[in-house]
Amino acid sequence: MNVSVVLWRDAPHSQRFDGVNFCGNDIPNNIVSADSGQFLLWGGSLAPNPNTGARRTNGPNPPKSNFPQGSGYVASFAGSNGMNLFAQFMYAMGYDLAENMDDHRAWVVSMPSASQMMH
C-alpha cells in the first residue's frame, strides 16, 4: 500500500509525507486488525462540526465521513484484504479502528476505485 499522509500539529501547522509504503512485512506480530463491522462503523461515522461536508480535503477539518462514500468504495474495500492492511497501517500509527470508531482525527481523502485496485 502506498499512501500520502498529512500530519497536523495544530490548525496552521502541518507536515506532508508522500509515497509512504506499507506492506505485510511492516505489520507488527500478534496484532489483530479491525473486523469489517468495525471498519464500516469507522468509515461511515459522521463528524461533528466543523467539517467539510462531502468535500474531502487534506485538513485541518475532517470531511463528514472518515471514508469516501458512494461508488462502492466502502463495501469493496471492507470485503478485501485492503481493509486489513489499512487497519494495520492505522494501528502502526497509533490509531486503532476498533477503539476509535467515532474518532475523526484520521480520514481517507481519496483512493482508487474497486476496478482500479484490481489492476
Please report whether residue 71 resides in a domain.
yes
Q: Which three cell numbers stand for residue 69?
A: 462514500
What's the number of domains the chain is made of? 1
Amino acid at 62: P
Give the span between the Cα atoms of 109 and 59, in whole angstroms.
9
User: Strands 2-10, 13-21: parallel, antiparallel or unpaired by DSSP?
Assistant: antiparallel
At 36-77, the pLDDT tens digits run 778 888 888 899 999 999 999 999 999 999 988 876 777 677
Its domain, for residue 98, covers 32-108
Please report whether residue 117 resides in a domain.
no
Question: What residue has cell string 471498519?
Answer: 39
Q: Can you give the pTM of this predicted structure?
A: 0.82
